[in-house]
Chains A and B, each alone.
Chain A
Amino acid sequence: GNSVTQMEGPVTLSEEAFLTINCTYTATGYPSLFWYVQYPGEGLQLLLKATKADDKGSNKGFEATYRKETTSFHLEKGSVQVSDSAVYFCARYSGAGSYQLTFGKGTKLSVIP
């Protein structure tokens, strides 16, 4: 079936540190891939997305590249800020015949000054 596996946290980093959150997905079909962010007490917001192999999604200094050969979509940011503290979810969407949006378990990131 469709699944997403992401690095489990929590992750604690100092401000300006480099961030990587790993995410791998099952290779069934040709999914679109996403990173969502959830700030405390809120719903999820789309952070970035990629719809085909080798696409790079980017937003607010975050980047992730759709790697078909390694079935990965790792999230990176070169210099994190305290305001980046949140829970990050990797997700895949398979529209053809399935219509399922499947999430990883989420990674809680805390950035300390």
Chain B
Amino acid sequence: SQTIHQWPATLVQPVGSPLSLECTVEGTSNPNLYWYRQAAGRGLQLLFYSVGIGQISSEVPQNLSASRPQDRQFILSSKKLLLSDSGFYLCAWTPLAGTGGTEAFFGQGTRLTVV
């Protein structure tokens, strides 16, 4: 069966420090991968999505970046965090387009607090 792992679960980082959140998927190949941010009272915002290794689409310009070094690994990074980067970050995957079952599967999320 497929599983998705996201870590860490919580993180407190000072302003200006770097960030690396990791997400891995098991049990499937060629998934579409997504990073979302959920800020308090602002719903779910799509940050990045990827349809393959090295292919990243950015939805919102900001100081975050994403990389996909392996088929089932998706990393969210920042060189210098801002206070406004605080929020709940969710990784998700969907099956390869065209294979049906377009349900998205989510990780448990990372609560990031920038202080």
* A residues with CB within 8 A of B: 32, 34, 36, 41-46, 49, 51, 89, 91, 93, 95-96, 99-106
A91–B103 Cα distance when bound, in Å, is 10
Does B74 lie at the interface of the complex (its beta carbon under 8 Å from any beta carbon of A)? no
Task: Kindly list chain B residues whose C-beta atoms are within 8 Å of the C-beta of A49.
Answer: 102-103
Task: Kindly list chain B residues whose C-beta atoms are within 8 Å of the C-beta of A42.
Answer: 108-109
Complex contact B44–A105 (CB within 8 A): yes
Using known A-B contacts A43-B90, A44-B90, A93-B94, determine if residue A103 contacts B106 with beta carbons closer than 8 Å: no
Chain A residue, CB-CB nearest to B98: A95
Complex contact B108–A102 (CB within 8 A): no
Complex contact A101–B46 (CB within 8 A): yes
**Which chain B residues (1-27) contact chain A, with CB distance < 8 Å?**
6
Bin the interface of chain B by size: 20 to 34
Shortest C-beta distance, A97 to chain B (Å), equals 9
Using known A-B contacts A89-B44, A95-B98, A106-B44, determine if residue A101 contacts B106 with beta carbons closer than 8 Å: no
Shortest C-beta distance, B89 to chain A (Å), equals 10
A36–B44 Cα distance when bound, in Å, is 11
Task: Kindly list chain A residues whose C-beta atoms are within 8 Å of the C-beta of B98.
Answer: 95
Using known A-B contacts A44-B90, A46-B103, determine if residue A99 contacts B97 with beta carbons closer than 8 Å: yes
Using known A-B contacts A43-B108, A93-B94, A101-B92, determine if residue A34 contacts B44 with beta carbons closer than 8 Å: no
C-beta contact mask, B76-115 vs A, less than 8 Å → 1, else 0?
0000000000000010101001100011111111000000
Complex contact B34–A96 (CB within 8 A): no
Chain B residue, CB-CB nearest to A104: B43
Complex contact A103–B49 (CB within 8 A): no
Complex contact A43–B109 (CB within 8 A): yes
Shortest C-beta distance, A102 to chain B (Å), equals 7
Complex contact B97–A96 (CB within 8 A): yes
Does B51 lie at the interface of the complex (its beta carbon under 8 Å from any beta carbon of A)? yes
Does B32 lie at the interface of the complex (its beta carbon under 8 Å from any beta carbon of A)? yes
12 contacts between A and B (CB under 8 A): A42-B108, A43-B106, A43-B107, A44-B92, A49-B103, A93-B102, A100-B49, A101-B46, A101-B94, A103-B44, A105-B42, A106-B38
